[in-house]
Each structure stands twice: as structure tokens, then as C-alpha cells.
Structure 1
Amino acid sequence: MDKRFISFFTHSKDIFFVMDMSGVILHTNPSFRQLFNYTEAELLGINIADICHPADKERRDESVGRLVADKQLIGYQSRVKAKDGCYYSVTWSILLNDDGLIYSTGNPVVGVPAKSGPASDDIVQHTIQSLTEGFIVLDTGWNVLAFNPAFQAMANLDESQIRLSRFTSIESLGLTPRVMDELERSLTNKQALQVQYLNTFCNSWLRMNVYPYHNRLAVFIRDITEIMLQQWVLALEKKVLELNATSRYTLAQTTNELLMGIEGIFPEMICSVLEVDDAQEKLHNLAAPQLPKNYCDAIENLSVGPHVGSCGTAVFHRRQVIVSDIENDFLWADYAGLAKQFGLKACWSTPVISSKGSKVLAVFGIYYNCVREPNDSELQLIGRTVNILRVLIESKRNEENILDQNNRLQSIANISSHELRRPVATILGLVNLFDKDDILNPLNKEIIAHLDTSARELDDVIHSIVEKTLYMRVNEAEIYGEEVKGGR
């Protein structure tokens, strides 16, 4: 830190701190520590983001870019958390110095809680300032009379821009005629209401809680995109599980419905599911609603291996494989040209492992037409989808196994009632014809020959029954991942 600043800011009544370009605090003055009630040791080395309000993050990230470009920021406002958990709104003047350090001086905004004990108005003001929801007050001409930092972050405007703008002209809110009609109705009827809508400007869902007071409206605005996505995913899972419970839908049809639902919720996703053969060596297309047919045909019968794109590798290693840039990833060295033909630039693949963990049943793949990595919400979706796919695949295979067993049991019953009875009846009849009084009777020799033939026929029938029974045991064990003990 430049020594010329130390003496001045040590005695300044303004709050002051120095941080590096990554946001790590290097120095604070006594006024800073006194206002927020931290010791110098508690602040030294922590990142400024750790004591700033979460709702200010996006605006803070944008301010860094402006600071790098302009070397200074004047009038930047943020909320800083004191040691007791209270947030103070501060207006900052920020300078990026030639030494690569960031120097910030600030003044608390009037109305934040005082250390000696805030009055009721101060408590209300502090609560509004600390909300992660946007808050604004509007008059009948849709002028913004008051707002909190969360709304400022949502609007992506500085304080002066908001004060000079009418609410209806703030593009980042994506206001629709229906929303404005609802606000007008609340103002006219003096009735509180709630309205939610898709903000097409930033592709997010917003919910407004509107409260009229005299000729003004107090409006709380919340981003509910995550809530809406969770509701849609739950509804999709319910629908798919209900379809799976009916015999009218095949596994491929049900899986296709699941993937189409996901692509409807996340329009940029291109989903696919490849089944893995019993030998765990080859992949076969099960469902891929949006993938080009020519691409699906090209990867049909794809081998499992340690460097076979995302899907083949995920099955080989039995773990998730995230490839954010197909063109420059060694796993796609042999397949990048194919992906490029169809504009596929990223692929995330996750194996669907059986409930007993013995086999990989399938692999769930997500493609993108741009280079990108998954965020936390997408990783959660992938995990849920893999669980649903496991249920779909195992339940359908169980159904097929039960049907096959029923057919085999019916076959065994038919063998027992017809093919088994015939040689037994023949043997019994021949035994009755055997001349016990005259062992040397020539007829006995023929009877013994017929008995031998019938006994061999009976042995073949019994062998067939044992084989069918053993197959049922083996097939069931494979489905549940168990070891078959014993044999014929």
C-alpha cells in the first residue's frame, strides 16, 4: 500500500479499505472497523465478498469490469455486513491505483441502523435495505420514489439512472401489458395482489407482491426461476412415472417423453439416452428427440472405451464425464469432426448404474450448441434424471422378465401336462405287458427296447424343464445383480 495514504486514512472519519484485484482485504482504517465492529485481524485476508450482501454479487462483478476500464467508480453502492449480522448500505468512491491495488472510501447511507439502537423507522429501513428481494415504491405516474439495493441489482442500473427512469421504461424487468394492468388494478381498487410472469429480457420468472397505500404502490419483486423449474421438473417426473406404469408405453416411448419434457424446460439442451448391452461393450440409441437422425445413426453400436467421446468414456469409467469444449478435448479426438458437422460443441454424459451397482444400464447425455459447463441447477437436474431413468429401465426390464417367466412357466406346465405324461404312460403300459412268469419270452425283449426309448424321451423332457427353470434363475439374478449359486 502507498505509504502516503496510510496516515491520512488512519485518522479519517470516512470508512476506508484497500484490497487486491481478487477482492482480498489488505488494510482497513479505524472508522471501517468501528462501524462494522470487526477487529483488524478479523478483516485481514478475507475476501470482501464474504461480508457483502449476496444479492449484490452480480452488480459487484460488473463493477469490477467498469473499474478496470475506467480506473475509478464514483457513487457505487453496496451493502456490507457488520459483525452482529446487520447490513449497512454504503456509497463508495473506488480507485484502481497504478500499484494494482483497489482503494475504497465510503459513507453509510442515511437510514441504516445506528449502533446505539435504531428507532422503528430505522429498523424498517434496514430491513428493506437488507432484503434479497427487490423493493420499490411507485406513484400514480409510475415514477420510482424509493428502491433498495436488491432492486438496483435486478434493474442493472445505477442510482441516478433509476431515479431518472419511469418504472415502465426499465427494460431489464421485461414488463408486459398484463403486469401493468394488474398494477393499475391494485392502485385503482386499493387491493393487494400477486402477479408472476416470464421476463423475456433475461429469460427469468419474476413474482411481484403489490401493496397499495394512498396513491402509491409498494412492490416486492422476487426471482422465482428456480422455484418454477423445480415445479416443472416434479410435474414431468410424475407424468413420466405414470406413463411408465401403463403397459401401452414402451421404454423407448417413455424415455422419449422424459427427454422432450426436459428440453421443453431447458430449451438449449439436446438430450439423449443410449442403452448399454449386456456385455457392457456397445451402446445403442434408446431416445434422442432433437439429435439429428444421421448423427444417431453414426453413433449406433458405439464401443465402450476410455477415450470414446463423453458417453463411451462415462460407461467405461462408470462416472460422469463433462466435456465443455468438444473440439478441443482429447476424449473426442476421433469424433470431434462428426460432432462439428451437426453443430455440437459440448457434451455432458452420466452413466445410469443399476440399483445393485453391478451394471451400467444406460448413459444420459446432454449436448449443447455452444461451449459451456453445467451449473449447480443443471447438475441437480442430471442427478434427478439419472435416478428416474434407473427406475424406468429396471421396472420395464422387470416387467419383461415377469412376462418371460410367465411364458416359460406356462411352457413348463404344458410340458408337464402333455409331453411328460406321454412317455410316463408308455412306460407304465409296457411294464404291465412285461411277462414276469416267462422271462425268456421274446416279447419281453421288445418291451425292454421300448422302455429304453421312452426313458430317454422322458429324460429329454426333464432336461428341458430343468433348463427353463435355470434360465429363469439366471435371468432374475442378472436383473438384480446377484450371483447364481448351484446349477442343474
Structure 2
Amino acid sequence: MSASQVGQPFGQSSDAAKALFSAFEHAVDAVVITGLGSEIRHFNSAAERLWGFGRDEVVGRNVNILVPEDVRANLDGVVAIKAALPAAAPVKGRREFRLQRKDGTEAWGAFSISRVDYGGKSLYINFVRDVTDEVKDREKNALMALVAEKTDRVVVVMDRDSHIIYVNKAFTDLFGYSLAEAIGKHPQHLLTGEYTDYEAITRFHASIDADGHGHEELLTYDKDGEAIWISTTVNADRGANGEVKCLIAVLVDITESKQIHSLQHLTLENLANDMPVLDVINDLCARVEAIAPDVVCSVLHVDVDGLLHPLGGKSLPPGFAEAIDGLLLGPEVGCCGAAAFSGEAVLSIDIATDPKWQAYNKLPLQAGLRACWSTPIKAKDGRVIGALGFYFRESKAPTRWHQTIVQNCVNLCALVIERHEARSEIARLAYFDALTGLPNRAQLHRIMTRQIDASGPHGRIAVMFLDIDHFKDVNDTLGHSVGDDLLVSVTQRLCKQIRPADTISRQGGDEFVVVLPNCNVEDAAAIANRLLESLMPPIQLGSKAVPVSASIGVSMYPDNADDIDGLLKHADAAMYQAKLAGRSTYRFFSADMNRITEERLAFSTALRNAIMQGACACTTSPSCELMEVSMAPRLWRVGRTPFSAMSRRQNSFRLPKNTVSSR
């Protein structure tokens, strides 16, 4: 083909052909005319712009140079199909092909092909429209649609007026509304309910209007009216002129994290407010049951002896807490006892048939509880200090939501119980005797104060001062460790003889105080007799049977004194009268005892002053009053003055656990 014919497929043609050629030349779309052999016969200006080739570079060459190599086979197949058609058969069609530009870059073109016959020859006219941007947009949109449909995040697209134009599958799964049900609706009308915070929604929209984006945590409701907390992020898509084209919202279900946060906040706030442990745990259980309505929650404490004690669970059947209080944990003691025993979670799908529940299933079954799942509560050092129980009204295993709650609750419960144990230990050290576990002096003072305040004008309280006879001999002959064992055994015997409302306190050494509220003289005498009789049998300490007895003094409120110090002093004085009476007996305080005590105190004081000052110049005179000094050892053997009693109490804070002076 001559140079004058390049781009002129019809050769030396008529004016009509020239007009058609001119139209092709000025067409917006690329026009590529090929012959039956796929050679290029015409390449218009738009084609030159699309491919970057000049027409003189492509006319006469095979059309497949205009597409990438991996597409050429497909293009050759299309050409072959067209060539095989009868000459009279019309050839039409539209396809999209990747194009290969002169600079090696790729584009997309939409081909519209027509076959024409001219001068006995068949030609193919290919109209090619540049659809590169459309294809890219389509691919992007397809990718975005795929992502939107496959993501577990809720995607909502709204128009500029916030009416829904698209929701993905995650939206339907979460809220229950299909795309058809959601389109055209305003989210505020579709997803709000009784407790939605409309002020937060107003603030949210104001942020979007001002900044083009916004973030908020909102309480929404699904199609069935169930509350769902969501974290919502909205961004505005603006056009070139700045106007909002659409709003794109991404929603995340934060119901679980929100509820767990609420549970944690409630418990920590209660701890900060110094609420009693039972109230803290009961509030925790109530909150758990609010966020998991199919659960009845309970918490048990495991003490140092391995005994179970209910801390919380107001929804448990009546009497259930009392029935399990004090049970020794073990593999067959329900789920909580077994979990605390093994240190692992224990599940009973059917309480009625599970052997672990055989002795304890009556009350839960009567209350409609069919299954139980218990998880041990462990301290920081790994000790099992409790058990968290979830009871179900159906025979089923815990769900993922239940597991999430428990993972958080066991940590909260551990914090509460460890704090409770720490405070109990502090209280024990401050108010209880380390050897016997009995209330100490400070705790006794608090108890007596409460009982005197509560006794009223006609109340009667008996106060006993009990001292073990010859206890120093045990320490001196058998050792202090045996003496400690003896004190523990005496404590155990005494505790069995008193009433539930009575109190026994160890004052130090071998001294005990017993306080009996609502007790008259006759009752006090009967209890004193029981205490003495309980000590009559010897106490077996190792290979030795140690005899033991005690002397008891009794004072009565308000007859002998109306204050604590007076009651204790008078009971102490009466106890020494019991010593003088031969020990292993009791005496009630009388006014004469007080007079004798005062006389002894005055005599003892004068005697000591005389000794310290060396005031006597006639120590050899038989008539000297201070010859009574020789009586001092006898006074210490027969009894002691209030001065000596006071001195010994003061010294008891510096002596070993059971150290006492001679009696």
C-alpha cells in the first residue's frame, strides 16, 4: 500500500466514501478497520491517541499488535470465527479487551465490531471506546463490595440525607433487617429504642456536619427489640465541589465489651467505697444475671481448712446457701466443691444424674436448675480461694458469652476475696489471740461495750475471770510448747460449755475472761460449774496426762459495776478469793473483797516505799512494824494484791506466749 493510501481503506473512492472516512477521522471513539486477514486498513486520530501509535506504524500490520500477548490468542479466535461466516452474514458484537499501548502500559477498550462489504471486499470496522477508568472503577467497586459482604464489620452507605442506600450481610446478621427492609430508612428511625441516647446522636450528627466524620458509642436495638451497643464511625464522601455525595458508616458490635466494662466498673467502685464483701459479691452476681439472663450466679469462698462458705448468689434456691455452708470440698461435692478441689473447671450437664450432685441435687432441681458449670477462683500465689458457679435452667454447656463473663469474673472475685482475706487477717492480728484464736483484750473491750450499750436499764451481764491453777508448773517442768498445747486444749473445752451469744477471751498467759450477756446470778453459777467440770479430766499432751483446774471470779453488771474496767477488776478480785478458797472453784464478787483489796494495796505500797527508802533504823527490833517484811513471801504465795495483778498484766505483753508469774 502506497503512502497516499495509508489510513484510506477504500482506496480511490467516491465522494461518499471520502465523507465516511472524514466522519471516522473525527469520531470520538477509536476506529480501526481491518481486512479479512486481520491486517489494519485504517487507524483514525482517536486510535492514535488511545494506543500512542502513529497510523503509519500500524497500517498494514496484524491487528493483534494492539493487544498484550496473552490476549492475542483470544483475539485471533474471534477473528477466525468471523472469517468463517458466510459473506452475507452480519457480524456484530461488543467485547472488552485489554489494550497494549506503544509505551508498554495497558488500558481497556470496549470493541463494537461490524462487517461491511465494499467493492466486493469484506472489511471489519472496529469502534473502540476507552473504558479504562470504568473498568478500574468496576474492579474497585467489585472489590469493595466483596470486602463489604465478607467482613464481620457492619457497613451502611447512606445518601446525603442519611437515608440508607446499602447495607451488607453483617448488618442483616446483627440487626435482622434485610437490604430491602433497610433501604430508604433513616438509621435513627430504624435502630433506636427505649434507652437510646438521643443527645449523643445529635452530637454525632453535628460532628459529621462540621468535620465530615464522627465516632460515637451508641445503644441501638435490633429488629426484635434487643439492645445492642455499637461503636460507629461515619465518614462523608465528598465530590469535587465539596458537596456530600454519600455517608459511609462502619459499625462494630461492642455489646460484650461494654457489659464487661460495666461489670468491672461496678465491682471496683464497690470496693473503692469499702462495701462489705457480701454486698460486693451479691452485686456482682446480680450484674452477671442481668447480662446473661439464662444464668443463676453464685460465688463460694474456700477457707484455709478447705471448707466452702457462700459469699453471693441471691437467686439460689432458699436454704441452698445454708445447706452447703461449711462443706468440705471434694471431688463429689457438686460442681463448686469439685472445681475448688481439682483447681479445674467442672461441668455437670445434668444435675439429676451426675454422681457429684447425688447428695445435693434436691434443692437445685426443685428450683428448676438443671445444669451447673463451676470455675475455681485462684489467688495470685495459685491457691484456690473460691469457686464461681453458673447454674442453667436447661441441660446445656456454657456459651462463648458465658465463658467471656467467667474469664472476667474470676479475676474480679479473686480481687474481692483476697482483699477480704487480707482484712480478716489484719483484724485477726489486731483483735484475736494468735495461739487460741480467741478475742484478745482489745476485741473484748469492743464486745463488752456493745453488750453494755445494748443491755438496757434492766439488762444483766456476768463477767468471769478464769485463771488456770498451777500453770507455771507445766511451763517449768514440761516446757512452753506443751504449755501452749495445754492452753489450746483448755480453750476447746471451755468453748463447748458456753452459750452461742457468750464470749471467751484470752487476756494473756493463763488468764481468760468469759462474758455472758442476759445472764443472772443463778445462770452464771451454773455456767461456772460447767466450765470447772469440763477441766476435771486430765488433758493428754503427747505421752503425758496433765491434770488441770481453774479458779473463777464472777462480777455482775450492773450490780458490782457499770463500766468495763470495774467489772474486770471485781471479777479479778473474786478470782483470787477462789484461789484462797482452795482453787478449782468460783466466787462472786462482794463489797468485802473490795475492802480487803484496798487494804492490801495500801499495805503493799507502804511496804515497798519503806524498803526502797531504807527508812527503818531498828531492823533488829522485834516490835518494829516493818518486821512484816518477812510476810512478803507469804503474801505472794497466798494471793496477790491488785498492784501485783496490774504489774503482771503489763509485763505479759513482753513475755512469751503463755508465760505467767507464780501463783
TM-score, normalisation: structure 2: 0.41
Which residue in the other structure is 1:336 paired with? 361
Stretch of structure 1 that moved more, 161-170 or 218-227 = 161-170
Q: Which amino acid aligns with 2:294?
A: E
Cα offset, 1:301, TM superposition: 3.7
Give me the whole-angstrom Cα distance separating, in 2, the residues matched to 1:311 and 1:186: 50
Which residue in the other structure is 1:207 paired with? 231
**What secondary structure, in the 3-state scheme, does the structure 2 residue paired with 1:451 have?**
helix
Note the alpha carbon deviations across 1:63-105, whole angstroms, 9 max, x for none: xxxxxxxxxxxxxxxxxxxxxxxxxxxxxxxxxxxxxxxxxxx
1:134-153 to structure 2, matched below 5 A, reads 134-139=154-159, 145-151=165-171, 153=173
Give me the whole-angstrom Cα distance separating, in 1, the residues matched to 2:148 and 2:360: 54
Give me the whole-angstrom Cα distance separating, in 1, the residues matched to 2:290 and 2:302: 26
Q: Is the 8 A contact 1:352 1:364 kept in 2?
A: yes
Which residue in the other structure is 1:6 paired with? none
1:399 and 1:167, CA in 2 relative to 1: closer, same or farther beyond 3 A? farther
Q: Which runs of 5+ in 1 are unaligned?
A: 1-113, 472-488
Note the alpha carbon deviations across 1:327-348, whole angstroms, 9 max, x for none: 3422112222321100112223
Cα offset, 1:220, TM superposition: 1.8
**What secondary structure, in the 3-state scheme, does the structure 1 residue paired with 2:331 have?**
coil
Aligned counterpart in structure 2 of residue 323 of structure 1, from 348, 353, 367: 348
Which residue in the other structure is 1:302 paired with? 327
**What secondary structure, in the 3-state scheme, does the structure 1 residue paired with 2:417 have?**
helix
Q: Is the 8 A contact 2:379 2:414 kept in 1?
A: no
Give me the whole-angstrom Cα distance separating, in 2, the residues matched to 1:180 and 1:459: 74
Cα offset, 1:458, TM superposition: 6.1
Cα offset, 1:236, TM superposition: 1.4
Which residue in the other structure is 2:51 paired with? none
Give me the whole-angstrom Cα distance separating, in 1, the residues matched to 2:156 and 2:295: 36
**What secondary structure, in the 3-state scheme, does the structure 2 residue paired with 1:397 have?**
helix
Q: Is the 8 A contact 1:275 1:285 kept in 2?
A: yes
Q: Which has the higher contact order (CA 8 A, sep 6+)?
A: 1
**What secondary structure, in the 3-state scheme, does the structure 2 residue paired with 1:326 have?**
coil
Cα offset, 1:239, TM superposition: 0.9
Cα offset, 1:197, TM superposition: 1.9
Which residue in the other structure is 2:272 paired with? 242
**What secondary structure, in the 3-state scheme, does the structure 1 residue paired with 2:266 have?**
helix
**What secondary structure, in the 3-state scheme, does the structure 2 residue paired with 1:280 have?**
coil
Q: CA RMSD in A?
A: 5.2
Which residue in the other structure is 1:274 paired with? 300
Which residue in the other structure is 1:34 paired with? none
Give me the whole-angstrom Cα distance separating, in 2, the residues matched to 1:468 and 1:408: 16
Note the alpha carbon deviations across 1:377-417, whole angstroms, 9 max, x for none: 13312332332232332243145235416984759999999
**What secondary structure, in the 3-state scheme, does the structure 1 residue paired with 2:319 have?**
helix
Q: Is the 8 A contact 1:255 1:287 kept in 2?
A: yes
Give me the whole-angstrom Cα distance separating, in 1, the residues matched to 2:349 and 2:410: 18
Aligned counterpart in structure 1 of residue 289 of structure 2, from 251, 257, 263: 263
Give me the whole-angstrom Cα distance separating, in 2, the residues matched to 1:287 and 1:162: 46
Which residue in the other structure is 2:415 paired with? 388
Is 1:379 matched up with 2:406?
yes
Cα offset, 1:309, TM superposition: 0.7
Q: Which amino acid aligns with 2:357?
A: W
Cα offset, 1:174, TM superposition: 5.4
Aligned counterpart in structure 2 of residue 367 of structure 1, from 363, 375, 391: 391
Give me the whole-angstrom Cα distance separating, in 2, the residues matched to 1:168 and 1:179: 19
Which residue in the other structure is 1:225 paired with? 255
1:397-476 to structure 2, matched below 5 A, reads 397-401=424-428, 403-404=430-431, 408=440, 426=604, 429=607, 432=611, 437=620, 443=628, 446-453=631-638, 461=648, 465=652, 470=657
Look at both structures and tell me which one has the larger radius of gyration over its CA atoms.
Answer: 2
**What secondary structure, in the 3-state scheme, does the structure 1 residue paired with 2:390 have?**
strand
Note the alpha carbon deviations across 1:87-135, whole angstroms, 9 max, x for none: xxxxxxxxxxxxxxxxxxxxxxxxxxx9x9x976677556645643121
**What secondary structure, in the 3-state scheme, does the structure 2 residue paired with 1:285 have?**
strand
1:95-244 to structure 2, matched below 5 A, reads 128=148, 131-139=151-159, 145-151=165-171, 153-154=173-174, 162-163=179-180, 166=183, 168=185, 176=193, 192-193=213-214, 194=216, 196-200=218-222, 201=224, 203-213=227-237, 214=244, 216-244=246-274
Q: Is the 8 A contact 2:352 2:361 kept in 1?
A: yes
Give me the whole-angstrom Cα distance separating, in 2, the residues matched to 1:411 and 1:310: 38
Is 1:313 matched up with 2:333?
no
Q: Which amino acid aligns with 1:334?
A: A
Q: Which amino acid aligns with 1:308?
A: V
Cα offset, 1:438, TM superposition: 8.2
**What secondary structure, in the 3-state scheme, does the structure 1 residue paired with 2:332 have?**
coil
Q: How many equivalent residue pairs? A: 341
Q: Is the 8 A contact 1:274 1:284 kept in 2?
A: yes
Q: Is the 8 A contact 2:431 2:443 kept in 1?
A: no
Give me the whole-angstrom Cα distance separating, in 1, the residues matched to 2:335 and 2:154: 41
Give me the whole-angstrom Cα distance separating, in 2, the residues matched to 1:275 and 1:180: 44
Give me the whole-angstrom Cα distance separating, in 1, the residues matched to 2:198 and 2:508: 77
Q: Which amino acid aligns with 1:371?
A: S
Q: Is the 8 A contact 1:136 1:144 kept in 2?
A: yes
**What secondary structure, in the 3-state scheme, does the structure 1 residue paired with 2:652 have?**
helix
Q: Is the 8 A contact 2:192 2:221 kept in 1?
A: yes
Sequence identity (%): 19
Q: Is the 8 A contact 1:355 1:390 kept in 2?
A: no
Note the alpha carbon deviations across 1:5-64, whole angstroms, 9 max, x for none: xxxxxxxxxxxxxxxxxxxxxxxxxxxxxxxxxxxxxxxxxxxxxxxxxxxxxxxxxxxx
Structure with greater helix share of residues: 1
Give me the whole-angstrom Cα distance separating, in 2, the residues matched to 1:329 and 1:410: 49
**What secondary structure, in the 3-state scheme, does the structure 2 residue paired with 1:293 have?**
coil
Q: Which amino acid aligns with 2:271?
A: L
Give me the whole-angstrom Cα distance separating, in 2, the residues matched to 1:284 and 1:438: 74
1:370 and 1:232, CA in 2 relative to 1: closer, same or farther beyond 3 A? same
Note the alpha carbon deviations across 1:220-252, whole angstroms, 9 max, x for none: 2221113312321231132122122xxxx4332
Which residue in the other structure is 2:559 paired with? none
**What secondary structure, in the 3-state scheme, does the structure 2 residue paired with 1:313 have?**
helix
